[in-house]
Each structure stands twice: as structure tokens, then as C-alpha cells.
Amino acid sequence: MGKYVLGIDGGGTKTHAALFDTDGRFVDLVRWGGTNHEYLDGGYNEMRQELCALTNTLLRKNRISMEDIQRSVLGLAGIDTKYHHVRIESILKDIGYKDYILCNDAFLGVKAGCRGGFGVCSINGTGYAVAAIDQNGNTIQIGGSFELTADNGSAYLLGKKAVAKVYESLFLNETDTCMADILFEILSINSKYDMMDELVSRIENKTLELKDLAVVVFKAAENKDKTALNILREMGEDNAKAIHAAIHETNLRDLDEIEVVLAGSVFLKASHQEGLERLKEKLCEMNRAKKISFIKLEKMPVLGAVRWGLESALNQAFYDKIINEFNNYKGLYNN
């Protein structure tokens, strides 16, 4: 019988792996780079290399083997379909994972942030997805496949919309927005005729990513730019619809009170909250008979993976112990 539970929260830019013993005592935390195959140049093959290196680093550091891991929970960005599950499960088995739960990283927000371990999480950061776990353990994911699921969230999409609206303003005379001035400053250009050349070259040279341009929308919104504010409001409304769908696709619809966890940089670190406020307003309008409690996820999502791995022995006091163990580890929140 293994002695440890391993939780992994893998995103597009960073990954956290947390090791606890089965009594809920903190053992180790390893920070790593991105493990989302969608953002790695080498796709699944590079993902395999990164997960293998991360796992081996953690095991060697703590002088244990995979046989010592009783259960693992891996919440990885980019797992949005059964096809993704099959591809990535083969990778995990090759590395040596046995008893594990594999899911999209949005599900970790539910386990980390909701008191009872069930509810909804909307993660809006580099990527976007809505995940729900109901009181009976049923799960559903809404969105997460970019254009295929018509996602209206993520820093990537905001950056893409910023460029499109600036282009419309400069060349098609369809919008009037101050986002052009902000984008020009970022690109260090003065002429609209240099914009596309500069964008394409920087993106191809990987000195700029579309997600980096989300700041254009937020800065313009601070200046009360109507186009930017509309982008954020539409994002908030669409996010609310996705959360509402997740509620009504599960038995959460039977509850009088539902907890909704908000995670990701677009929700938690944005300089303007127009989108988030519209999300709250719209979701409450759609669920007037229910009490919707919104929770900004301040705990590290990897806590949700650990909680899930220990869930058979878990009660609230035990979860509080896990949190205290994390909080007592110096430097943990230096992400």
C-alpha cells in the first residue's frame, strides 16, 4: 500500500506538483514549466518528456518510487475530450502512473474552492473552461476547445479580439477605439501600415503571444473605451451562460445554493472587472430562485488535486489541516 498522494496542476505556462502523505501531512511541492500539449512546440511528445521529468524529479528528491504513491490526481489544461484522455492516459501509464484521476485543470478549482467539494469552476486565464462536479460525483465540462466550442474567454481570445477591433478601426472604419494607441505603444510603432508586419513577425519569432495583448482590452476599458467594455461584457455574459449550462447538465440544478469558483488571471488579476461583474449579474438573473455564491480562488488549485486524492478519508477538519500544511510551507505562494 502506498504512503503518499500526488496532486498535479498542469497549465499552459506553469505546473505545480504537490506531495502529501496519506495522513494529510505536507511533504513537498515542485514547480515546473507548462505541460499543456496545446502550447508546447513538441505537442504530446514534449508533454510526455515534461511530465516524465517532473515526476522523476519529485520521486528522486523525496527518495520514493511510484510504488509509494497510493493515488495521483492530475488536472491538466488541454484535456477537453475523450480523445485527449486516451492519448494522455497512455503517456501516464508509460511513465508508471497506476491509480490516478485524470481531468481538465478546471475541475481542481471545484475541489479546491467549494466547501463540500462540489459546485462549478470557471477558469479564465491563458485558456478557458467551465467544469462542474455535482453532489453525486457527476462531472461535466463546458468549453475549452477554443473556436470549436465558441469559447468567449481566455487571455488568448481577448488578445485576438483586441487586434481584430484595432484592425477594423484603422482599415475598415467600423469601430472607434483607443485600443489602437495602446497596441501601437506595445509594438513601438507609429503607423498603421506597420502593425501587421510587426505582429506577424513577433508572433512567428515567439517574442510576442496573442495572450500578451489582453492587456490592451483592459487598459482601454480603464479609459472607458466602449469597444473594450463591450468585449468584456460579452465575455462575462457568455461565461455566465456556460456556468448556467454546467449547473443544469448536472444534479446541481436541484440545489438551492450553488458555489461558483472563479479562477485564472483574467478573473483574478485583471485591472478592470467589467467582464466579471457582468458574469455575476447575468448568472444571478438566470437563476433567480437560487443563491449563487461566488468564490475567487485564492488557494493554489493543486490543493484540489490533493483533496481529491485523499477524499475517501476527507472531512472538513482534514481539509483544513491540508490547507494549514500548505500555508506553513515558506515560499509556497511565490508562484
- The answer to whether the CB of 59 falls within 8 A of the CB of 32 is no
What's the pLDDT at 333? 45
Q: Which residue, among 7, 253, 5, 255, has the nearest Cα to 115 in the 3D structure?
A: 255
What's the pLDDT at 212? 95
Q: Which residue, among 90, 115, 117, 88, has the nearest Cα to 103 in the 3D structure?
A: 88
| Strand, coil or helix: 271 | coil
What's the pLDDT at 312? 61
Q: Do domains 4-105+301-327 and 107-298 have the same CATH topology?
A: yes
Instruction: Please say whether the structural domain 4-105+301-327 has been given the CATH code 3.30.420.40.
Output: yes
| Strand, coil or helix: 29 | strand
Number of alpha carbons in the 13 Å side-chain half-sphere of residue 161: 23
Residue 178 main-chain phi, psi, to 5 deg: -85, 0
List residues bridging with 74 in a β-sheet. Answer: 8, 102
What's the pLDDT at 60? 97
Alpha helices (H) along 205-301 = 214-222, 226-248, 265-268, 274-286
Q: Which amino acid is at 151?
A: D
- Cα–Cα separations (whole angstroms), residue 198 to 9, 102, 188: 35, 40, 9
Reported pTM: 0.89
How far, in Å, CA of 122 to CA of 21, rounded?
29
What residue ranges do the domains of the chain occupy?
Answer: 4-105+301-327, 107-298
The residue count for the chain: 335
What's the pLDDT at 331? 53
The string of DSSP codes covering 107-138 is HHHHHHH-TTS-EEEEEESSSEEEEEE-TTS-
CATH superfamily label, 107-298: ATPase, nucleotide binding domain (3.30.420.40)
Q: Which three cell numbers stand for residue 279?
A: 458574469
The string of DSSP codes covering 149-204 is GT---SHHHHHHHHHHHHHIIIII-----THHHHHHHHHT---GGGHHHHHHHHHH
What's the pLDDT at 146? 73
Per-position pLDDT tens, the chain of length 335? 569 999 999 988 899 999 999 988 999 999 999 999 988 989 999 999 999 999 999 999 999 999 999 999 999 999 999 999 999 999 999 999 999 999 999 999 999 999 999 999 999 988 899 999 999 999 999 988 877 787 899 999 999 999 999 999 999 987 789 999 999 999 999 999 999 999 999 999 999 999 999 999 999 999 999 999 999 999 999 999 999 999 999 999 999 999 999 998 999 998 899 999 999 999 999 999 999 999 999 889 999 999 999 986 556 667 777 777 777 764 554 54
Q: Which three cell numbers stand for residue 98?
A: 497506476
- The answer to whether the CB of 162 falls within 8 A of the CB of 177 is no
Q: Where does residue 253 fall: left (phi above 0), alpha (psi -120 to 50 degrees), or beta otherwise?
A: alpha
